[in-house]
Each structure stands twice: as C-alpha cells, then as structure tokens.
Amino acid sequence: MKIMKIMTISIAAVFLLAGCGAKDEAKPASNGGANAAPATAPPSAAPQKVQKIIVGTSGTFKDVTFFDDKGNLTGYDIELTKEIDKRLPEYEFEFKTMEFPNILLSLEANKIDLAVNQYEVNPERQAKFLFNDEAYNIWPSKVVVHKDNNTINSIDDLKGKKVITSPGSNGAVWLQDYNKNHGNPFELVFSGSGGTNDIINQIKTGRVDATISSLFQVTGRNRDADAQQKVVGPVLYTSKIYYVLRKDETELKSKIDETLREIKKDGTLAKLSKQWLGEDFTVNE
C-alpha cells in the first residue's frame, strides 16, 4: 500500500522563522548547558506521488491471464506485472479485464494505460502504440490440427482448407500476411466471442481444419478442455512478447524495461515461466 504522508507546520513556527535573519543564523552555537535550545530537525522530504496505472488484459488465457477457481486474476502475465508493480513504488497497477479485441482499442482511447496479453510487435500496432524493449516471452508457433488428422503435416497442406484464428491476435496477423503473399491458398476464419473455446469446438467438430499456436498452448488445451489437438510441421515463426503502451508513455516504458532487466537477472522471470508455463520460455532456443 503506497501511503502519502502530510506534514503540517504551525503558524507559530512560521512567525518564529520569519523573525530570524542572517545574523541569527551566523551566531555561534552556545557552549551548552541546561538552557541550551535543542537543534531543530530539518523538514522531511516531500512524499512521492503515486501514479495509478490501469492495466488491460483479457483474463481468458489459461495459465497466462485467467481467473482461478477462487475468482482471483492470475497467471504468468499477471504475476509478472504484479512483480514489476512491486518494484516500482512510484506506480500502482490496477487490472481491468475485457474481451481481447477491446484491449488495444481501450489503450488507444485512454481508458487503460498498459496492455498485457502476450502481444508481439507488428507494423500495424507499431504505427499506433509504443512497445517496451525487453521481451518477456518467446514462442515458436506451428500448424495445429485435430489429433486424428494425418493429411495436414505442414502449412503447405492447408491449400483449400479452413484455418481459424482469434481476431486481432498475433496468429491472425501472421496468417493474413501469409495468405496475402501466397495467393490466398486457404480460407481464414475468425473465432466468435467464445475465443479459444470456439477454436477448440470448430476444430474438434471438423468445421475448420487447422489453426496455428505453440506447443505450450496446445498442451494446456488438451489438458484442460479435451481439445484433442496436435502440432505439426516446422516452426512457422517465433513470437517475442512485449508490453504495449501509448506513444507518450516513454517514462513508464523505461521503468518497465529497467525492472524487467532486474527480474531477468535475478532469475525471477525464469522462475515464473517454469511455474506457470511448464518450462523456461524466456530464452530463444
């Protein structure tokens, strides 16, 4: 809890100080004795002002940003952000959850101050927002299909297929660029309000053929939601994950980067990754 202290100076003390001139200050100190006046303590420094930072996140990404069975917002991204907040006494972070597509819209509209939800840099985002310099996650992404699908083994096998992704996600941007640069070989489908659950259901029921994701995410979906998915083929791209801020938030960006470097150096980041993600995804292998 960051507490501001206010010190009050009495009117009598003000008059006393006003009556003392330079000569009084230059007067040599008394040799002591019972009647010697005690030294006056210098006034305390002004209390540091605490700035509230509203942090936007989805709260729907299992093990990353989600609500546990007690209703507490937690996960890798959340606990890392809390650790940063703990080390920056000049700020107080407050989380606000919303649907994933609305996070950056809220940042742009000044409704939040910081976005955390596994964001990677792309040209569209970079034109509007500021990213910090220190990546706190690195993900290798591959094609994902139903576990019984043996006809799709790489992205080359997606020709004429339906590929689903979340609107505004890292995967959506990559898939749109790939489709555009390769003559639109597959049909891109966007998930509904159910997000990840919608993707799981559509792949499981065969309404779509594939998506792209990391082994970590697929393992979690299979464990928690019986997604019946598997990753196939080579790595398509590697995502580096950052915080997103408004363009004018350069001071906050610098403080986050400085603190992240400390958190990496003392091993806290690797510890959080192993705790929530199963292994250290903070280094590029």
Please check whether residues 148 and 231 belong to one and the same domain: yes
Give dist(CA 177, CA 180) in Å, integer. 5
Please check whether residues 252 and 224 belong to one and the same domain: no
- What pLDDT is attached to residue 205? 96
User: 260: domain range?
Assistant: 51-136+241-277
Q: Are 196 and 63 in contact (CB under 8 A)?
A: no
What the block records as the tokens of 115 is 């976005």
Please check whether residues 108 and 231 belong to one and the same domain: no
Q: Are 186 and 117 in contact (CB under 8 A)?
A: no
pLDDT, tens digit, for every residue of 130-161?
Answer: 999 999 999 899 999 999 999 999 999 999 99
- What pLDDT is attached to residue 199? 95
Please check whether residues 234 and 143 belong to one and the same domain: yes
Number of domains present in the structure of the chain:
2
Q: Quick check: pTM over 0.75?
A: no
225, part of any domain: yes
Give dist(CA 108, CA 103) in Å, integer. 9
12, part of any domain: no
CATH number, domain at 102? 3.40.190.10
**Does the pLDDT at position 42 exceed 60?**
no
282, part of any domain: no
Please check whether residues 171 and 228 belong to one and the same domain: yes
Please check whether residues 230 and 245 belong to one and the same domain: no
